Amino acid sequence: MKFFTPKRIVIIIMAIIFIILKFIQNADFNQIIANEKNLILNTKKIPCRVVRVIDGDTIEVVILKNKPTEWNTKEKIRLIGVNTPELNKEYFAQEAFEFTKKELNDKYIEIQIDNISSERDKYGRIIAYVWIDEFLFNQILIEQGYGWYYDDFKFNTKKMHYFNL
């Protein structure tokens, strides 16, 4: 009995083609993820100082202008891609609020507008990613169990890999 029969050769060739296609597909997917990550990382980050935490997913900041001592007016920021319980309405809202307050209040942060999202929601709040040092706070809220994935705002859902969903 021969090992390399025509039928086995066809099966081996098909298996090799399948493996090559899978490798190319994974390489393409990894490149897409890398490109998406670069899109958000390359959009402008705006330096701010948190002056008040409104609830678990909303803060108020002053935005740094041209000089370290020159500040703009206050802006409310709604964290994109995450939702926390509503204060005085839902369980664990106070815990989410306290966590956000502990982590962000009176801290210097950077906000980053999504490249697809509209800049503001219907309440006039800026919708943004919030970075504290090199950490995405939106993601931290979910990872720590204080919030959950929220896609009611139009934004680049391909960037949700930051939220480990």
- Three-state SS at 67: coil
Q: Residues for the chain: how many in total?
A: 165
∠ Cα 9 12 18 (to 5°)? 140
**Which residue matches tokens 């950490």?**
135
- Let me know: does 164 contact 145? Beta carbons within 8 Å: no
The one catalytic residue in 86, 90, 98, 119 is 86
Q: Which candidate in 36, 75, 78, 103 is catalytic?
A: 78
Does 78 qualify as catalytic in the annotation?
yes
3-state SS, residue 60: strand
52 is catalytic: no
- Dist CA 93 CA 49 (whole Å): 23
> Is 125 labeled as catalytic in the residue annotation?
yes
Catalytic residue among 36, 75, 103, 125: 125
The set of catalytic residues is: 78, 86, 125
